[in-house]
Structure 1
Amino acid sequence: MINNQHKIAVVFGVRNESSIAFQIALKLHASGCKVAVSYTAETKDEVLILLDTHLIDGICHQVDIRNELEIKTFLNQVYQQWGAIDYILHGVAFGNQQVMCSSFPGSSEQAPNYINIPFEDLMDSFNISAYSLLRVCRVAEPLLAKQASILTLTYNASQRVFPNYAGMAINKAALENIMQYLAHHFRNTAVRINAVSAGLVMTTSAGGVNGVRKLRKIGKVTAPLGNVSAADVADTALYYFSDLSKKVTGNIHFVDGGFNIMGVAIDEG
């Protein structure tokens, strides 16, 4: 029902096939968008193979989200080749085990407890996971189409305690606040910006969180609608990347099967 013919979308954050950002890129492509995708030096080969496999013939560019010049080069290429940008997905996040206060599987390094999160590690994580939204929007602002839509991805740990998420929760809380202030910033240009708060999806990043499978088991029975997939999140993203959401901005939209409304976990029995 959503027709995005002649719309131009830019997706930051595709890492591999399990990425929420990749599922969103697929939905955008299927809806008729021209889709431009960024990748990092580490993900280049896998991302390019994915796009080729799924017949997404768009602009691809290596971008370090911490580097404003690289973002500018990428977005300017999209603008010059295709025109004004209608949609942007900010789907990037990073936190090492020093930030998450949890030793990753296979690591012999001891992670710190929360009160001892190293400042430098946290700031690098903040730069990638939260401040980068400001950076992308600053570069994109003069290149956006009328009534463009920007979307970022957050997590409920911004508001509740998930011990093994630790410093990443600081980043998500900041990201949500940045998003809301940007909604005000863009008020005179009718550009809208929102966040999707996804349930625990089994992405590569999630796989490195201690206890993630236990959380998925809890979510399966606790959330009224059970666990969600990356494709479920992408379905909601497509609403924001369409004219259906043209009067929605500054919103945090939960796609977690209703997990966020629950005060206690539900036993399987």
Structure 2
Amino acid sequence: MIDNKNKVAAVFGVRNESSIAWDIAVKLHRSGCTVALSYVADTKDEVLYLMEQNGMDTALAGLADVRNEDDISAFLKLVHQIAGPINYLLHGVAFGSQSVMCYSLPGSNEPAPSYIDIPFEDFMDAFNISAYSLLRICRVAEPLLAKNASILTLTYNASQRVFPGYAGMAICKAALENIMIYLASYFRGEKSARVNAISAGLVMTTSSGGIFGVRKLRKMGKFTAPLGNIDAGDVGDAALYYFSDLSKKVTGNIHYVDGGFNIMGLGVDGEGN
């Protein structure tokens, strides 16, 4: 059992109980870690309820729109003031509008937006929230981090392969992975923080419900991935490795938790063909 007693974690990205970030927060809490959660206006009530129901200190919850550096600063300074230096930082935030992800709404007769017509303003908002926010959070967090801190972000294999229903969000994930490896290089020497990413398979969360053909992808993953589909708990288990001393010499890594889907060149059917 990983012992995170006297460790402090700040978690960005909990939306509701189905969030991968929530499963990671719960596992951190159970390992003895003091856990702080950010929220936005429309997730505040849900986040506070989940914290109360699971014995987490709601004084360590705070508003943080990741587009707003002042919000992030206020939240992380609150965590530092109450709990002390931050050992673990989770970036589990992503957002892309319909026009960025290029999908049509269920029951709509309107065609899906075209990839080549992704609006610049919509894309930049998705990039700001889903990728650049990691850099922003790390910039604010740097003076508040404990020595040998661990920073973790969540990515998706669409950064490397074409998933038509992910479209412009795939650009954001590719950028996120690049930001991650450069931050891993930046946090060296006296800064001594490690920065890694988990590339999770398709988990049925509120956010993934917006991906076009998500159920078809899950069905395909059931047969294609050597170990089958995953759930949020599988990602949380892997995250706990990075949020422990077991990973003290691991940085700049993209860790696939997708049942092996990423190694396959072709989809297979239920007979393994």
Give the alignment's TM-score, normalised by structure 1. Answer: 0.98
On the 8 A contact 1:105/1:210 being kept in 2, the answer is no
Alpha-carbon shift at residue 105 of structure 1 (Å): 3.0
Residue 76, structure 1, aligned to residue 97, structure 2: no
2:252 to 228, 250, 254: 250
Mapped partners of 2:65, 2:108: distance in 1 = 26
The equivalent residue for 1:67 is 68
Find the residue that maps to 1:187 and give its secondary structure. Answer: coil
Q: What per-residue deviation string (whole Å, max 9, x for no partner) do you get for residues 184-226 of structure 1?
A: 0001221000000000000001111121001001001110000
Query: What percentage of aligned pairs have identical amino acids?
Result: 71
Mapped partners of 2:63, 2:105: distance in 1 = 27
On the 8 A contact 1:16/1:46 being kept in 2, the answer is yes
- Structure 1 spans left out of the alignment, 5+ residues: none
1:263 to 249, 262, 265: 265
Residue 127, structure 1, aligned to residue 91, structure 2: no
The equivalent residue for 1:222 is 224
Find the residue that maps to 1:146 and give its secondary structure. Answer: strand
On the 8 A contact 1:86/1:145 being kept in 2, the answer is yes
CA gap of 1:109–1:9, structure 2 versus 1, over 3 A, is farther
Taking only aligned residues, the RMSD between alpha carbons, in angstroms, comes to 1.1
On the 8 A contact 1:125/1:171 being kept in 2, the answer is yes
The equivalent residue for 1:104 is 105
Mapped partners of 1:89, 1:261: distance in 2 = 26
Mapped partners of 2:74, 2:145: distance in 1 = 15
Give the alignment's TM-score, normalised by structure 2. Answer: 0.96
Alpha-carbon shift at residue 107 of structure 1 (Å): 5.7
Name the amino acid aligned to 1:48: L
- Structure 2 spans left out of the alignment, 5+ residues: none
Mapped partners of 2:56, 2:110: distance in 1 = 40
The equivalent residue for 1:209 is 211
Find the residue that maps to 2:128 and give its secondary structure. Answer: helix
Alpha-carbon shift at residue 111 of structure 1 (Å): 3.7
Alpha-carbon shift at residue 7 of structure 1 (Å): 0.1
Q: What per-residue deviation string (whole Å, max 9, x for no partner) do you get for residues 23-73 of structure 1?
A: 000000000000000011011111111111122224000111100000000
On the 8 A contact 1:104/1:209 being kept in 2, the answer is no
Mapped partners of 2:49, 2:270: distance in 1 = 41
The equivalent residue for 2:49 is 49
